[in-house]
Every structure is written in structure tokens, then in C-alpha cells.
Amino acid sequence: MRPLRPPSGAAAGLFFTIAMLCNGAAFASDSFDVSPEQLGRLHAEPVQEIIQTIPQTFSFAQPGKLTVAVNPSGGPPIATYATDASTVIGSDPDYARLVAETLGLELDLVPVAWADWPLGLTSGKYDAVISNVGVTEQRKEKFDFSSYRQGLHGFFVRKGSGIGPIAGPKDIAGLRIIVGAGTNQERILLEWDRLNTEAGLKAAELQYFDDEATSLVALRSGRADVVVQPNGQLVFIAARDGDIERAGTLSAGWPEKSDVAIATRKGSGLADALTAATNSLIENGLYSKALDRWHLGEEALPRSETNPPGLPKF
């Protein structure tokens, strides 16, 4: 389940702009560039041998362009609106541009609501979706994937709490943990708690709140010990506010891995070219530099795969 967030589109941009203005001191730091100019954005050169892997039969939504759907309401550092409330910025938009340039194409980044990307991709409105989409076995039945980041959940605690590191079931024994109901994180924590109970350890107390803001108030006030949710969502907040810190990470597919990937139409043939483009970026170092720019270096993959193992059906 995706956490509740501000509306998509211009409303989302306005929300984040207001948030930035209200936290001016925090945003005065160099931790994140949220300007529309994005002067530090990286660029890639076309790679002819990879361009040649694009199937001649593939029909781009716009000739000469890679049309990519992205959901800006995902929030920084993944994807959001800049301070002008219209320019889409973040790790995913930067990565989309690098891939497009490697393929010798111009990027056309199309903001979409999360619920709209599957239909738009299937209909050919977009060539690809680069929007923090996790690979699942169910999604692989309808789409092809080219992995580009690890799917990680993050355990965040109050700074100086002394809690952590959290790396396995025994580390959550007796803790009060905020988690979203019906999420993959909840499924994993319930299994960890079951293992702890069998081992005679103290049970964890799972807490549920309606939105991220309320969850963080509970954490900061000491009513909870830990909040767990997708890692990138709290990386930005931790850097901005300075009063929470990460105590550990968890694979989204625990005990297996579950990567984040570019989604393309099933059988279109574009996935292999996108996988090759990603591996070229890994090899030339632009990939790691782009992730580090948004404080997501720990989510780097050693190599991209086409249709890697995904989160199983439950």
C-alpha cells in the first residue's frame, strides 16, 4: 500500500513548494538541490552499440524521443516538483535522462498519477515508466522490467535514541514500530515477530497511523521507537530535519531481493536495450554519481537485469 501523500500534478508541486518555504533554514543546506535549474544534473553520451540493440520494429510514442512516465507525488528524493512547482526533479528523472541520452534520444518526461501508468504504458502513450516501480511476479505477467535500484525499506529512529542497528528479526524484539497496514513492510515484520515469539523473545508492538506526518510526530514525541517504510521516502526528511536517522535497511522482497525497475510493454523488445543502457551507466560511473547526488547510493545495484526475480504473489 502506498502511503497517503499530497495530490499529484500542480497541487503536489504547490504542496512541496510551501513545505520548502516553511522549512527555509533546512533547505538552505546543500544536501539536496530542489531548484528548477538543476545545474548539477549529469549527462551521458550516446553509445552506438547500445542504440543498435533497439529493435527496428519498436515504435516510439514520439520519433526521436524516449517518452517516460513519472509520478511526481512520490516525493523527494525519488521524484517531486522543484520550487517553481512545475519542473519535475529527483533521482528517477535524472536516471531517465541518462538512459535516454545513452540511447541517443531526447527525454520527454510525462508526469502521471500512480494509478494511470499501467494503462498509459500498455496503450503506447509512454515508451517506459521510471517511477520507483517495484518488480513483482504479478506485474511481470503484463510488463517487462529493467532493474536499476535495490528495493529497500528503511528503519528510522530518533537521532541519538541508541536504537539499532536493525538487521534481522531479533533486533525488533520489544520495539514499538510504526508501519503501514497491508504493506509489504507489515508482512515482513509480522513474520519477524512470529520468529521472535518462537525464540522466546519479546513481541514487537506494531502501530498504525493514517499518514506520514502523523507517524513522524509519534516517532519524534517518543510514542514510538521506529518507523519503517520505503527507504527513499525518509532519506530526504532525515537530511532536511536532522532529528531522525536510519538504523538499518531491509530488502523489499525479504528474504529474497525485489528490485526497482523500468517498466516497458510486455514483449516490446525495448527492455534489453534499457538494461544495456543501465549497465553502461554503471560501468562509466554516471550511475553511482547520479544516485549519490540524491543520497541514494546504498540502493545501487552491481548490475542491471532484464526481468529479474520479483516480489512473489501472496
pTM recorded for the entire structure? 0.86
DSSP 188-228: HHHHHHHHHHHTTPPPPEEE--SSHHHHHHHHHHTS-SEEE
88-89 and 80-81 strand pairing:
antiparallel
Assess contact for 80 and 88: CB atoms under 8 A.
yes
**What confidence score (pLDDT) does residue 44 get?**
98
Instruction: Round the CA-based radius of gyration of the chain to a whole number and report it.
Output: 20
* C-alpha cell at position 291: 544516485
- Domain 152-251: top CATH class: alpha beta
Tell me the C-alpha distance between 138 and 280, whole Å: 28
Q: Please state, in angstroms and as integers, the Cα–Cα distance from residue 257 to each residue in 155, 164, 171, 247, following that order.
A: 17, 22, 20, 19
Say which residue the cell 522490467 belongs to. Answer: 145
Q: Please state, in angstroms and as integers, the Cα–Cα distance from residue 31 to each residue in 156, 172, 179, 194, 235, following that order.
A: 18, 30, 27, 39, 11
The 10s digit of each residue's pLDDT in 29-38 is: 458 999 999 9
**Local confidence band at 12 (pLDDT 50, 70, 90 cut-offs):** very low
Assess contact for 70 and 88: CB atoms under 8 A.
yes
The 10s digit of each residue's pLDDT in 111-131 is: 999 999 999 999 999 999 999
Task: Please tell me the CATH code under which domain 10-151+260-299 is placed.
Answer: 3.40.190.10
Same topology, domains 10-151+260-299 and 152-251? Answer is yes
Please state the rounded mean pLDDT for residues 274-292.
98
Domain ranges, ordered by start, for the chain: 10-151+260-299, 152-251
What are the backbone angles phi and psi of residue 138, rounded to the nearest 5°? -70, -45
**What confidence score (pLDDT) does residue 100 get?**
98
Rounded to 10 degrees, the C-alpha dihedral 288/130/183/291 comes to: 10
